[in-house]
Structure formats: C-alpha cells, structure tokens
Structure 1
C-alpha cells in the first residue's frame, strides 16, 4: 500500500492529526476497503492500517464467498442453510439481506476484475460444510488474498482518501454521547484524530487464543475499544473453531480449507478410523460439531493432532484448486499427495462482536462496524462456511448511505494549542514494563483462553479464568497513563522514543486483550447451555430459554435480548467514555 502516508490527492500537506475527516475507517482488510469504495464520494476518508505490511485476516482466507449464482440453487435454500447453522440465534432480517445482496456483490467484484475460478464461461462453485448446494465461489485457495487485492486496487484510487499505515487506534473519542474520532499511535507520535464518523473494520479476536488461524493483529482491539466507549457488544461467547488447522511443532496454524473435504478429503485418527462418523454430514458437518469431535478423539488418544487425508482429492485437482495449501505443506516437509497431514482445531472466527443494525450502525451514535468486529446477526451461534467474506462486502456496501453528523470540513485545520509533549512531560516518573514481560503476559493469557474458553468449556474453568484475568488487569500501569493520555487535546501530540512507543503499543495491546478476554469469559459463564460455537461440558445441551442474544455494556451485567433486536440505544449519561 505504498508509503506510511498515502494520499489520493495533493490538496494538503498537513499531517492527518492536523485535519478533520468526514469518516475514519479502522482496518484495511476486505471490510475496510469495501467501506472506502462504497462511502459517499463527497466524503473525505482516512483509512488506518495497523501494520506497515498487509496482514489482515481476510487476506488469509482460503475458503470462498457464498452466493446464489446457479439456477439449481435459491435464496430460500441459502437462507435456510444459514439459519440452521446459526442454531436459533440468526436474525432473519440480517440473513435475508446478506443472501439477497450477495449476487449483486459478486457482480460488483467482477466489475473490479476479481478473478474467480471458472469452468469455461461459467463461475465455478464448490460445496462446503452445511451448504445444501454448490454455491461457494473461489479464486483457487487464496480467495481472500485475491479479493483484498481487487478491492485495494480500486479503493486506493478514491479521490480524497488518505491511507495511514502503521497506525494503531487506542481509544475512541466520545463527547455528548457521540463518537467524534479516536486516539491513534502512528510511528512515534500519539494524538487525537477528529472525524464525523468512525467505521471499525479491524477484524476479530482469534489471536486471543494460543491456537488460531488468524494473524497476530487479530487481537480484538476494535471490540475492546467499542466496549470501553460504551457501545453494546453481542454474543461474545460464540467463537468458531476451525477443525482443520495444520498442526506442526513451532509452526503457525495454517488453515486447511474445508473445501478440500468438499472435494473428497477425509478426517482420520491414528488407526485410520473416522472421528466424525457419528455426525450427520460426517466430514462436512457444521464446524462446531467437527471441532468437538476431533477434540474429544484427541483427548481419548492423548495426542495433539489427528489426520486429514487429501489423497482422495487427487494430485491433479490439488495442484489446480489448492496450490497454496500444497505449497505450504511442501515448505514444511509434508507431501499431501502421498500421506495424510496432521491437523487440529484452532480459533478461526468470532461470531459475536460490536452489535450493529442493518445499516452497520452501532448503539453509539457516530460509530459503525463492519466485518468480523461486528455482530450483525447473520451468523447466530455458528457461522456457515464462506458467509464471512460476503458479510464484509454486503454490510460495507450499506455504508453508501452514511451521512456523518457535523461533516468535518476536512480542509479546515484542527484548532487547539498544538502542543508537543514527551512521555516524561505527560507522566513524570512513569516506568513502562519491559517488552519481554508484556510479551510473556500476552502468551500466558492466550494459553489460558485456549485451555478454559476454547473448544470445550466448563463453569469451574471459566470462573478460574475470570479470576486470573481480573487479577492481572491491574499489572500494567494503564489507569494513570490512560487518564493522562486522555488529557491530550485535539491538535496536541505526544512524541515518544522508539522503545517507549513499542512498549506503549504492546502494553495497550495487552490491556485490550484483557478487556476482551474478560468479556468473553463473562458471556460464556452467563450462557448456561451449549449452542453453536459455545459448548459447556457442565451444560451440554441447548435450552429453549437461551434462544436469545447475550449483550454486554460497560457498567452493566450481562443481559439477554430477543432474537431480532439488533441494537439498544446507548445511554448518553453512562459516563462510559472520556469526554473531550
């Protein structure tokens, strides 16, 4: 994406900190880029990307994009499959919007030169778990990467767009019950950015778990920031664990798309028996069921992996349809055309998130959310395969009607003192923890979440985990530092030494993870049943009473809401966030 600051026009040389924006989009994956494409063209948009190099979770997505494109398929069938996978918690209006808008999104992608696989002139479709028809479109086995590249080519040509890379959002700016912007750390500078609206598109929190298919920046900071600002969270207990992540010592948990099982791949234990033989749908049963079946067989056998046999797919088809999987396996010394490969479940996708309505608006005026950071109501308790990339696109397109309150007038400079501070000026005597200590705490938290809030949970384990998280929440000196950072006014900037900037970023990352972990564990403790991606060994069956959403808001206990109730208006008197 070019330099640290990329501008689509040359109208101003001012720093992004010194300007007001109509909209700030946080995240440069599929949801964020589609938002930039679809926002009204007259709006001036700032796109924040956490990393200098592109590493969003949507870029890693191998699977595909679900849409009704064949004459033997139907909207009714796609809707029914989605509702069934969601285990009673999908919001029908959100599902209908997704399914009915999906074909138009495919046409939009084709207009952006997205290179889907084809059979002759026709789009090629595959079958994935819990789909009743072949409706999943692919670009070989790197659909997410191809999608993001197509969106990026066009989005970065948007007039008035400024892209700020290596920019980490730390907290939202709330005044008079409305989101007015956010605080950002960019390189060695920290300050407030004013905006008429903020769109969170910064992904989920899969990296909260020790075993995950997600990149490291999928730490759930968007969800944590929204909660700290007073926005409503929904259904955080529902995490999807993908059953087939490559399991090798000291290697990342590379996702093995279930599309290979749709083409004949089979799960096996060490004796060659199927661990999913008892499931309706077998190898293509819903992901939550397959992951639990694998976890139980692994526990019985006291092993950390089972096997995925790709030989039935055939070498030629593997080379043609799954070159990325084949290449990655071979890089790690595996040969899937001759031998089964080791796999195990890993955290993959968060069904819960910041609650939104059908226009992607959250309960906090001025704050929007799209993609995995949002809970739109589409996925319910368990996401249907390949609905997530389409959800990014459909709900980002809803932003084409967004009109921010008090449009920013982006050509006007920020008024204010324009003061420059050092960390010593702002917080005299503050000693930031050693980065190695912070890194160790993050890893300990990830192990805890995997052990106690992973594929299978229990009330006793969740209570232990909650106590652990709450005890450690005060170990990072964030309270006094956050208060001082909040005293920075628009136009002020905090200058940091590189080591201090790195420590501040890692410390804030730990704090966001602790906030998210506490919300996850609270929600999982609250839901005393098993449903979809949430399974409790001490309450292993679904209960009719719990066919309701859970929701959380700062200063309130976990509560429930009927299915179909997407967003509750925020209480502007809650004092949830720092007024500027």
Structure 2
C-alpha cells in the first residue's frame, strides 16, 4: 500500500490481493516500528544492534541504507495520519518503547496495535485514490516473463491471477510488477501468521527464474499465547521490553541461565531457551509475567493484549500469560538490491517476501515494517525513473487440457502432512537426518501436486499448497547446505559457528544473470 500511494499520482496501479486488502500480516504487528528518533539514540547504535541480532550475516550496506532512511519513513507515515502514541516528556514527542535486542528505546508505536493503525490509515487512502484499482479475492498464479513467452529477454510483463469468486483466470499486463506477498509461516503447523502467508511471492519468483537467499532462517516468535481458543495470537515483544519476565510453572525465572541479556535477548536466543526448557521438563508452555505492573499501565500500553487475555479468563495484572514459540517471520526470500529489484527486469520484491540482506540470520524486533516502508520508497523512485518496455500481446490462460477435480481431499491431506512434518523436522532445533526426512516427503508431495496441477482446474487451495511445498523445499535445501549453527538455524550436527558468515543463495534451473 505504501508503494502504491507513492506511485499513484503518476502511474496506474493494480493491487492484487487474494483475500481482502487488510488480510496480510502487517495488521498483526503489535510492537511498532524501529527508528532512531531520540537524541539519546544514534544510527550507529541501531545498526550495531541489527548486526548483532543478525549473527554476522546482515548486509552492512543494506543495514545502513534502511536505518538511515528510518526517520523519513516515520515522518511519511505521520504525514499520512498514522496516530502514533504521544509522550509530551519525550524529545521526539512520541512514546518510544524498547524490545529484545535493542540497546535503546526506539520503537514508535500506536499502543499495542501499530500494524493495524498503519494498515487502516493507508487502506483508507488506497480505496479512494482514482489511479488505484483494487482486485480483492484474486490470487496470483504465476508471473508472465519473456522466457515463458519464448522471447529472447529476461523481463516480467505481468501475471496471471485467479478470481476466486467465479473461478476465472485474468491476465494482468504491467510495465512493472511488485511481489509484496509476505512470508511463508503457514508452511508450519504453529504460526503467528495469517492464513494468507503461504510463500506465494517466493515460489512465483523462483519459478520465474529469481534466486532466493537465506531461506533456512525462519524466525520463531518466543511468545505466542498458549490457549485452545486463541489461534495465532501474539504476545508482543514489548511486554518483555516493559519488564515482563519468562518463568517456569513454579515461578522460577530461566532466561538468566541461557543469556546474560536474560528476557531482553534476541528472539532466536529466547525461542531456543523456551524450546529447551519445555523439552527438558515436558512442559506444554512457559509463562510470561508482567503482573508487577499496575492495571492502568497495562491497559494503556497493551490494551489489545489485556482485553484478549481477559476475554480468555487470564488477568495479566494478577497472573502470568501461558506462551509457546511459534513461526513468525521468514528472514530469507527473493534476492533483491537496494532498489527492490530482482534478477528479472521489471520485477521487484519488497517486504517479507524479499531478501534484502537487512535481517541476516535473525531479524531484530520491529525492523520488519521499517524495511517495508524504506523499500517501498526505494522501489517507487526506481520505477518512476526507469525506462518502460513495450508489452507484447500476452496469451490468455489455457484451460483446454484440464478438467474439474474429482475430489479435493488430496489437497487438504497434503497440506496437513506438510505442515506437521515441517514442524517436527525443520523446527527450532534441526538435525541432518530430520532435514533429509523432510526433503524425501517434500519430493513425494511435489510429484502429487504437479500431477494435480497439470490435470485439473486451479483453485486457491491448490495454488497455495503448490507454493507452500516449493517454499518448504527451498527452506530444507538451504538448511541442508549450511554446515554450522548461526542465528535462527541451529543444527545439532553442526553446533559450531564458522568464522565467515556467508549467505545461502539458491539458483533456479535456467537462471539468467541480470
């Protein structure tokens, strides 16, 4: 939405979204956006914190580029009307909180519903702009490239998309195409991500000929609410930033045993610590305790979390919150440069679907929305100044050789099987044998799904499963190729960290260097 608004005064834009406009992951970003906004803070310290969290794998140029443009991105959001929480005593005029891995308070937020506030503000402008066409309930199938058209070029000319309401496939031509499809959390059984996070952009980019990078680094958020009626509800990192502590069922704190930063250690450290304690003691969950804070403080700083827990019978001012780790963020993705450009001309990737180099082996809290905003600006500048290429006549989607599926149980069964073995075999702690087991099962699923895709009409469920299986394959390939433990990738077979931090880059068949 940020990219669309930055382009819409000079370009005609189509936003294609497979559900409704607000069904992505951004609305779930409770904590806020990291940026240097206080005189006590500095760009170098934010850069340093990001590099430390990224376990040596962050690209230094990208990291500096994003953080240097952080304040301008926040100013742009303020100009759009985002109602960030104010603080008259702060030199910035806004309340800044702190999260794990940060050396300063630098998280600007809207109470504990920052992503929702940003989304609502931008969506209101998107829906009323005359140059933006919104195609909701349309799921992209594949990109249309010169290679696919048997042309001698490496250009993207648009995409095919399924109108999931009537089953028709539409052909969308574009001088510039941007993948902004989010991550791949739904490849795992337990995730904080929405149901839409099925790795679509990563899979489409790979099939089109883009390299992908660092797919082994899947971030598990340490604190997802553990309750049978609380699907994927996140307990913000800011709860620990405001003094919340992790405890065993008997009330004993355990994070000081695992890291000198204790409860404010980066997410990979905290998630592994919780996983260790749960497995060691046979626990279903651990507990996050912020009951030392008064009720009015909790209601002011965490109104969404307070209300949701209270609705489930958990009074966080009196009792700790049961929590477990859950898949939260895909640090890898389609490889891009500082303009958001991919390996294919005219094709960009921004947000969680991209691998810009900012997050390295582990994303620092609240750097995700920051990355979205900075690269929306960078890509918009590049698009507005780039030469456009004539679009050839694009063929319509061919349905002449397919029929209606006789049964869809294959899709639901394969979806369930994939998510379960990815959770069991490619989780927080990995072994080579588990990864090989996952790879074997993925190969079998690939064959089944490709046969299904070739013979039957496409459906939204089939397209998502096809993308999930491919994304899972890329995750496992990347994990098997990394013979060390670094950041979010911890291998029992290779527990040491090598002296040189080298990105994992996977190259698709028929790759053409830009």
Which aligned pairs between 1:15-34 and structure 2 lie closer than 5 A? Answer: 33-34=1-2
Query: Which residue in 1 is equivalent to 2:171?
Result: 192
> Taking structure 1 as reference, are residues 416 and 86 closer, same or farther at Cα in structure 2, changes over 3 Å only?
closer
CA distance in 1, matches of 2:469, 2:450: 13
Tell me if the contact between 2:173 and 2:394 (Cα under 8 Å) persists in the aligned partners.
no
> Taking structure 1 as reference, are residues 228 and 199 closer, same or farther at Cα in structure 2, changes over 3 Å only?
same
The 3-state SS of whatever aligns with 2:454 is helix
Question: In the alignment, which of 114, 120, 139 is matched to residue 168 of structure 1?
Answer: 139
Whether 1:306 aligns to 2:286 is yes
1:394-431 CA-partner distances (Å, limit 9, x unpaired) = 0101122214553679xxxx96787x98x5xx225x45
1:246-296 CA-partner distances (Å, limit 9, x unpaired) = 012353121000101111111001121222112121001010000000001
Whether 1:46 aligns to 2:14 is yes
TM-score by length of 1: 0.83
> Could you tell me how far 1:150 is from its partner in structure 2?
1.5
CA distance in 1, matches of 2:131, 2:338: 27
Query: Which residue in 2 is equivalent to 1:64?
Result: 32
> Taking structure 1 as reference, are residues 153 and 407 closer, same or farther at Cα in structure 2, changes over 3 Å only?
farther
> Could you tell me how far 1:479 is from its partner in structure 2?
7.0
Query: Which residue in 1 is equivalent to 2:276?
Result: 296
1:196-239 CA-partner distances (Å, limit 9, x unpaired) = 11100110001111111000100111100100111010110111
Question: In the alignment, which of 103, 118, 121 is matched to residue 132 of structure 1?
Answer: 103
The 3-state SS of whatever aligns with 1:283 is helix
> Taking structure 1 as reference, are residues 433 and 291 closer, same or farther at Cα in structure 2, changes over 3 Å only?
farther
1:114-162 CA-partner distances (Å, limit 9, x unpaired) = 1111112711001111111100011000000001112222233434211
Which aligned pairs between 1:239-258 and structure 2 lie closer than 5 A? Answer: 239-249=218-228, 251-258=230-237
> Taking structure 1 as reference, are residues 478 and 147 closer, same or farther at Cα in structure 2, changes over 3 Å only?
farther
Query: Which residue in 1 is equivalent to 2:150?
Result: none
> Taking structure 1 as reference, are residues 315 and 476 closer, same or farther at Cα in structure 2, changes over 3 Å only?
same
CA distance in 2, matches of 1:151, 1:253: 24
Tell me if the contact between 1:244 and 1:343 (Cα under 8 Å) persists in the aligned partners.
yes
The 3-state SS of whatever aligns with 1:335 is coil
Tell me if the contact between 2:138 and 2:161 (Cα under 8 Å) persists in the aligned partners.
yes
> Taking structure 1 as reference, are residues 125 and 505 closer, same or farther at Cα in structure 2, changes over 3 Å only?
same
5+ unaligned residues in a row in structure 1: which ranges?
A: 1-32, 485-499, 557-568, 573-580
Question: In the alignment, which of 499, 504, 509 is matched to residue 555 of structure 1?
Answer: 509
CA distance in 1, matches of 2:395, 2:195: 37
Question: In the alignment, which of 76, 81, 84 is matched to residue 44 of structure 2?
Answer: 76
> Could you tell me how far 1:437 is from its partner in structure 2?
3.4
The 3-state SS of whatever aligns with 2:504 is strand
Query: Which residue in 2 is equivalent to 1:444?
Result: 417
Question: In the alignment, which of 405, 429, 435 is matched to residue 408 of structure 2?
Answer: 435
Tell me if the contact between 2:8 and 2:131 (Cα under 8 Å) persists in the aligned partners.
no
1:52-83 CA-partner distances (Å, limit 9, x unpaired) = 36211001110110111111111111111111
1:352-391 CA-partner distances (Å, limit 9, x unpaired) = 0001000000111111001000111111111111010111
> Could you tell me how far 1:37 is from its partner in structure 2?
1.4
The 3-state SS of whatever aligns with 1:169 is strand
CA distance in 1, matches of 2:274, 2:125: 42
CA distance in 2, matches of 1:82, 1:477: 40
TM-score by length of 2: 0.93
CA distance in 2, matches of 1:80, 1:54: 33
Which aligned pairs between 1:385-534 and structure 2 lie closer than 5 A? Answer: 385-401=365-381, 402-403=383-384, 405-406=387-388, 423=399, 426-427=400-401, 430-432=403-405, 434-478=407-451, 481=454, 504-534=459-489
Query: Which residue in 2 is equivalent to 1:117?
Result: 85
Tell me if the contact between 2:16 and 2:138 (Cα under 8 Å) persists in the aligned partners.
yes
The 3-state SS of whatever aligns with 2:376 is helix
CA distance in 2, matches of 1:313, 1:215: 30
> Taking structure 1 as reference, are residues 53 and 95 closer, same or farther at Cα in structure 2, changes over 3 Å only?
closer
> Taking structure 1 as reference, are residues 201 and 82 closer, same or farther at Cα in structure 2, changes over 3 Å only?
same
Query: Which residue in 2 is equivalent to 1:18?
Result: none
Tell me if the contact between 2:217 and 2:330 (Cα under 8 Å) persists in the aligned partners.
yes
> Could you tell me how far 1:93 is from its partner in structure 2?
1.0
Segment of structure 1 superposing worse, 326-335 or 74-83 = 326-335
CA distance in 2, matches of 1:417, 1:239: 37
> Could you tell me how far 1:323 is from its partner in structure 2?
0.7
1:485-544 CA-partner distances (Å, limit 9, x unpaired) = xxxxxxxxxxxxxxx66xx22112111111000110010011011111111111112112
Query: Which residue in 2 is equivalent to 1:564?
Result: none
CA distance in 1, matches of 2:395, 2:485: 54
> Taking structure 1 as reference, are residues 133 and 189 closer, same or farther at Cα in structure 2, changes over 3 Å only?
same
CA distance in 1, matches of 2:378, 2:513: 25
Whether 1:367 aligns to 2:347 is yes
Whether 1:35 aligns to 2:35 is no
Query: Which residue in 2 is equivalent to 1:325?
Result: 305
Tell me if the contact between 1:40 and 1:400 (Cα under 8 Å) persists in the aligned partners.
no
Q: How many pairs align?
A: 500
The 3-state SS of whatever aligns with 1:538 is coil
> Could you tell me how far 1:319 is from its partner in structure 2?
0.5
Query: Which residue in 2 is equivalent to 1:177?
Result: 154
5+ unaligned residues in a row in structure 2: which ranges?
A: 147-152
CA distance in 2, matches of 1:417, 1:255: 44
